[in-house]
Structure 1
Amino acid sequence: MAQDLRLVLPQLIVLLTAMLALVAEMLRWRRAGLTTVAVGLGAATVVSAGRLAVHATAFSGTFRVDLLNHWSVLILCPTAVLCCLLARQELRGTPREGTVYSLLCFGTLGALVLAGSGDMMLLVLGLLMTSLSGFALAAYAKTEAGTEGALKYFIYGTVTTAILIFGLSYWVGITGSTLLSALGQPNLPAPLLAFGFVALLTGLGYAASLFPFHFWTPDTLEGAPVSVAAYLSVVPKIGAFFGLAQVCRSLPSTAVDWPLVLALLAVASMTFGNVLALRQTNVVRLLAYSTVTQAGYFLLPLVGVRGAMALPALVVFAAAYAAMNTGAFAIVLHTGRTLADFKRLGTTRIFTGLAMTVFLFSLVGIPPLAGFTGKLLLFESAMAAGYTWLAVVAVLNSALALAVYSRVIVAMYFAAPGGPAAPPAPAWEIRTVVGACLLATLGLTLAAQFFF
């Protein structure tokens, strides 16, 4: 038991941090809440960074301490801290400010549980933790749009989670175990394996904003505070895809051709997200549909998840996505939600406009930015698995994405003079978030060479 607890020490630190942030709120120590979160999640990151070479299982195989587990902590904990800084800027002085920090930590813990799942029950637990925290965060502002978005998030979440649990019950029935490793048994009934996999995709696809389970995403992100929208677009998504990767590593492809299913979903998600994003004038909704597009890219390494390139590609792209998407939302929080708010931003606030351009170009996959490195590894992973056609479709969608994000860039640099006044200088919280994300977006290409 002591060894198991040591293996899950980063997750325990995140749990303790969430509880302490809640206590700080109860005692009205509002400044202590953010400090507690920064110190706690920073400590979890440091602990996980020091054990990258550790590969084991805890609690009789129910929790996997592996590459996905370690990197989920290294990616999601810093991202959660940055989202807390955005929340501080957006929600400062509002009632229950500290509760938001606690909910962000609990949701992050759920994503970490998903990423290390070696058991079907942990998949359900992690999904519920991220979803329940997300419901509360989306409705926090108590606006009509926020309440509507949170209600849609809740309804979709309850239905898809119920389907997930129902499908996993069939897997438990045919394997006689809740462990994911039991799925590798020979001669399991193919129809029941397929049914369980579809149910799994329904539940995790909802959390990941994957087409066709994404319908809550635009309205929920638009109605939520921008800091919460940044969080919901990154942390649950990465947790869900890491959890799906854990399942795919154990699932036999002989009985069910699940790689082809994932490939088709990837094409649909990339294309649908780009086409819908082209129609948006609200930048938050544009980024919301962008998350649907990026969800399709996350599936590329999973079609050949047992290949040598698959998991490193997934991790690098997840890190790049967390940086560039969080940075883009930080600038939206500072500048405004519509394309009109970005008019001439590149000439009135030069650094802010340049940073937004870097984030958007990275989302497209322009070299030498982090998004390019991540997507290049994704394409190589898909081709190594024999899905060259999928890599070609992904490249074409990257070209289409350039048209999507260029609308914001054109507004920043080439719009006619006039329009809204230049926004004031960003607060220190936003400067910190943008600076950290910009550094990661520019430096990840070099850093990836040292880790993989």
Structure 2
Amino acid sequence: MNSLEIDYLVLLPALIPIAGIVIILVVDLVNPSLRQLPFAVAGLAAIGASVATYPGLDQVRGDAQATLCVPVGGWVGLNQGLQGLPRTCFWQADSLTSSLQLGAGIATLVVVLLAWPRTRARSVTEGTREPIMAILLLTAFAGTMVVAASRDLGTWLIGLELATLPVIGLVALSGRRGAVAGAVQLLVTSLVSFALLVLGAALWLVATGSPMLDANAALVGEGFQSEAASSAQVAWPEASTAILALAVVLMIAGLGFKLSLVPFHAWTPTAYSGATVPVATFLATVSKIGALAALVVILRAITVVGASALAAIALLAALSMTVGNLMALRQNDVVRLLAWSTVAQAGWVVLPLVSVSSLGNRAAGTYLLTYVIATSVAFAVVALMLRERPGSGRTIDAYEGLWHRSPWRAGALALALTSLAGLPPGIIGLVGKVVALRPVVVEGWIWLAVIAAANAVLGVAVYLRWLKPVISTTEAAETVQPTTRGPGSRRVIMVGLALSSALLVVVSVQPDVLLRLLG
């Protein structure tokens, strides 16, 4: 019973993207002239990984699929091994974890569709950007799947960096000056973030004496003599409580960079505007899912010891919502507007986490997936506009009269913007804001609820400013003729837009689909 217990079916959400990477490498070695096949493999890997999350989605609250388990003498864990032997598991996937993984899979599929090459083959003299991009996408996607289910410091840190470092290469891949500047800023930010995370992890290990990110380790760090601590004969000084609190604050700060929380947000507008639209979409969706999943792992571990180290979250949420909305109001470039929107929405995502509870964690997951779906639709419309108008598709003015030129595209963008604003017909956005505010009110954070309500009104102004020209039908807008010189396959981009829009329509008409998914 001292052997490692492995259930490969539970690991499939992470193994499938890795298998996709291997296939792309082999295919590119055999026939390097293909351009679309690497993206086809990446798309299939995203679909397969999404399907593989189903067993975790089917778990009732309190249960989880676990693997990579080892029996530990004297360790009383949540999962019991055969014949009553206690065990600790390095990988656990419950309904919240699997929902975040599913969201990452769908968002990755949309990104693959937005980045789809226009031609099937390339000449021998051309570069190999397509397989490189597909590999980097799948690597970052695999890291997101890993960090969501990891329950030990080593796997958690590796998964986080696996989800981050490939994105730096994706940003720089286009080779433009703005892309290089964005990649360098993202690299520097990532290094600072990783330093904070490693320092926080080291302090966690000092305070708890355990590499596991679970409640038993946190209890030991707080000085509680639980059955687990007594049987292991672990006794830590009272200073371990302060060390544990500092560890949590440092790890929250490190994840603040990845979530684009103020004041760790400076890289966001530069990286978004320098990257291609598909890469910016990945940064705004999949990367944010990975960061929140990592934060939820930490918060679940400290649920049993209270919220003494989490007052900083309330301040980060308030600052992020306010600064993000105020800066978004000044943007005429829609990509930079969406970048500052990410900062503001990140504040809403962490808002319910002031409640260190399952309610807070699931409310944060609900709001994040709402934001991811709506933002994917908005970026898909931008990608299609840039495909038709490479020179002017990034300005708000380019959307003048879109409702007249393309009603279905304007409708999709209108639904996305109203969802982000929390207005009808984007009902899911309104539901998401109510769900996010509920733990705040329950825990008595009245001042934070007032700031959130004020920012909800401010956010309406941000998104209606973009929506106003969309529904305009001026004669000048009606006579504009689109071009077809932009990058990417227009038909496949339209498929990505249709997929993300259909999903947004479903959750707007039936919000309980998303709410039940997250418990």
TM-score by length of 2: 0.82
CA distance in 2, matches of 1:401, 1:115: 29
2:165 equivalent to 1:127 = no
Q: How far is 1:353 from its partner? A: 1.5
* 1:285-434 map, 5 Å: 285-307=336-358, 309-335=359-385, 336-367=393-424, 368-414=426-472, 417-418=475-476, 421-423=480-482, 427-434=490-497
Q: Deviations over 1:54-80 (max 9, x none)?
A: 414332422222223211221111110
- What corresponds to 1:21 in structure 2? 24
- What corresponds to 2:107 in structure 1? 79
What amino acid is the match of 2:312? V
Q: Percent of counterpart pairs with the same letter? A: 30
- What corresponds to 1:251 in structure 2? 302
CA distance in 1, matches of 2:55, 2:10: 12
Report if the CA contact (8 A) 2:6-2:68 is conserved.
no
Report if the CA contact (8 A) 1:149-1:221 is conserved.
yes
Residue 145 of structure 1 is aligned with which of 171, 178, 183? 178
- What corresponds to 2:140 in structure 1? 107
Q: How far is 1:6 from its partner? A: 2.9
Q: How far is 1:253 from its partner? A: 7.3
CA distance in 1, matches of 2:11, 2:48: 13
Flag structure 1 segments of 5+ consecutive residues without an equivalent: none
Q: If each structure's helix is expressed as a fraction of its own residues, which one has the higher value?
A: 1
Compare 53-62 and 413-422 and name the one that shifted more.
413-422
CA distance in 2, matches of 1:91, 1:300: 44
2:81 equivalent to 1:57 = no
Report if the CA contact (8 A) 2:143-2:160 is conserved.
yes
CA distance in 2, matches of 1:369, 1:293: 19
- What corresponds to 2:213 in structure 1? 180
CA distance in 2, matches of 1:36, 1:409: 36
Residue 40 of structure 1 is aligned with which of 45, 58, 78? 45
Report if the CA contact (8 A) 1:168-1:200 is conserved.
yes
C-alpha spacing 1:304/1:90, structure 2 compared with 1 (3 Å): farther
| SS in structure 1 at match of 2:7 | helix
| SS in structure 1 at match of 2:36 | helix
- What corresponds to 1:160 in structure 2? 193
Report if the CA contact (8 A) 2:303-2:356 is conserved.
no
Report if the CA contact (8 A) 1:345-1:422 is conserved.
no
Q: How far is 1:248 from its partner? A: 0.8
C-alpha spacing 1:247/1:20, structure 2 compared with 1 (3 Å): same
Report if the CA contact (8 A) 1:184-1:252 is conserved.
no
C-alpha spacing 1:450/1:237, structure 2 compared with 1 (3 Å): closer
CA distance in 1, matches of 2:210, 2:36: 46
- What corresponds to 1:238 in structure 2? 289
What amino acid is the match of 2:409? T
What amino acid is the match of 1:59? L
CA distance in 2, matches of 1:340, 1:22: 42
C-alpha spacing 1:7/1:286, structure 2 compared with 1 (3 Å): same
Report if the CA contact (8 A) 1:370-1:443 is conserved.
no
- What corresponds to 2:246 in structure 1? 195
Compare 104-113 and 343-352 and name the one that shifted more.
343-352
CA distance in 2, matches of 1:449, 1:122: 29
- What corresponds to 1:262 in structure 2? 313
Q: How far is 1:207 from its partner? A: 1.1
Q: How far is 1:322 from its partner? A: 1.5
Compare 29-38 and 416-425 and name the one that shifted more.
416-425
Report if the CA contact (8 A) 2:129-2:173 is conserved.
no
Q: How far is 1:389 from its partner? A: 3.5
CA distance in 2, matches of 1:365, 1:255: 31
TM-score by length of 1: 0.93
| SS in structure 1 at match of 2:53 | helix
What amino acid is the match of 1:67? S
C-alpha spacing 1:422/1:302, structure 2 compared with 1 (3 Å): farther
What amino acid is the match of 1:334? L
Q: RMSD between aligned alpha carbons? A: 2.3
